[in-house]
Amino acid sequence: MKCPYCGCQKFYVKDTDDEYETYGFDCESGQACFDPDIDDSVIPELCDDSHIYCEKCAWNGKYDEIKT
């Protein structure tokens, strides 16, 4: 699982209630692994249609676009 443009495996998702709050995760293991410093109670659920952003380039799209 990687960015379709730059190949980066680090992404983030924005909080639906606060557009300035983001949650970073990586996909190096083939699954989304959120940063360890994020409290489990606030980690958002990633669905296929969740909007995610690449940490390295300007790509953004749906979570299922990187699962192929």
Residue 14: half-sphere exposure toward Cβ, Cα within 13 Å: 10
pLDDT of residue 13: 95
pTM of the shown model: 0.89
pLDDT (tens digit per residue) in 6-52 = 999 999 999 888 889 999 999 988 889 999 888 888 888 888 999 99
pLDDT band at 4 (very low <50, low <70, confident <90, very high): very high
**pLDDT in the model for residue 40:** 85
> Cα separation of 1 and 8, whole Å?
9
Q: Which amino acid, one-letter code, is at 8? A: C
Q: What is the pLDDT of residue 68?
A: 61
Task: Give 14's DSSP letter.
Answer: E
